[in-house]
Amino acid sequence: MKEKLFIFSAPSGAGKSTIVQHLMKQGLGLEFSISATSREPREGEVDGREYHFISPEKFRKMIKEDAFIEWEEVYPDQFYGTLYSEVENIWKRGKHAIFDIDVVGGQNLKKEFGERACAIFIQAPSREVLEQRLRARATDDEASLQLRLGKAMFEMEHATHFDHILINDSLEKALAEAEKIVTDFMAL
Ligand code: ADP
Ligand code: 5GP
């Protein structure tokens, strides 16, 4: 079977990481595509596990060298991008690549890989719930939280460009639905 890509996109706080981390533990042959970023690591984050953490200068240099399939300056001086080498290495190991990526990045990956990619948009049940979850996660200061909420409103409008929309209300149901979407696409 040809190796595929699974793209999970959503506004920050909608539950991408929770869903992607769950899927990774199900023995489905998925390998997480580690993005590069120039933001500072959060407490508990490890270089080469959540992200490849690099400086904004190094990031700009790698853009010039064409190292990225897609990249974005998601917040000022905070770059995020997917490395060509990352996807190539995952496929070489015979695994499917799984992405936790913002909405614009997800759309760009889908454009690049077409039929080989399954793009899933995760949606929180409402803006209020999204805000509650971001606050409960307590990983961002107020300014950073407001930035993420502002971006979320814009991102919600792009849901229709994805192959699937998954509402993350009951987590249990969302996880089961995500698993079904992934295994169905693998079987194609
Ligand atoms: P993202 O990766 O999209 O930014 P996270 O997976 O970090 O989002 O989820 C944001 C917060 O909401 C986390 O604290 C997570 O535990 C919580 N969360 C995720 N899904 C649900 C759910 N269905 N119900 C309640 N809380 C949830
Ligand atoms: P965070 O700082 O909360 O980890 O991520 C901020 C945003 O950047 C999230 O929406 C996340 O999905 C997105 N992101 C992570 N990796 C990439 C990537 O490789 N490319 C793009 N375009 N966005 C990414």
Predicted pLDDT of residue 53: 98
User: The tokens 């995760």 sit on which residue?
Assistant: 122
* pTM exceeds 0.85 for this model: yes
By alpha-carbon position, which residue is closest to atom 14 of ligand 2? 101
pLDDT in tens, 122-148: 999 998 998 998 899 887 789 888 988
Predicted pLDDT of residue 1: 54
- The crossing angle, in degrees rounded to 10, of helices 142-156 and 127-137 is 150
Predicted pLDDT of residue 138: 80
Q: What mean pLDDT is reported for the chain? A: 93
Where does ligand 1 bind, in terms of residues with CB under 6 Å?
10, 12-18, 133, 136-137, 168, 171, 174
With a pLDDT cut of 70, the percent of the chain lying above it is: 99
User: The tokens 């971006």 sit on which residue?
Assistant: 151
**Mean pLDDT calculated for residue range 17-46:** 96
CATH number of the structural domain spanning residue 73: 3.40.50.300
3-state secondary structure of 50: coil
**Mean pLDDT calculated for residue range 77-89:** 95
Q: Per the structure, how many domains does the chain have?
A: 1
Tell me how far apart the alpha carbons of residues 1 and 21 are, in angstroms, rounded to a whole number. Answer: 23
Pairing of strands 5-9, 30-32: unpaired
Closest ligand 1 atom, CA of 100? 2
Q: Range of 172's domain?
A: 5-186
User: The tokens 């961002």 sit on which residue?
Assistant: 140
Tell me how far apart the alpha carbons of residues 128 and 101 are, in angstroms, rounded to a whole number. Answer: 22
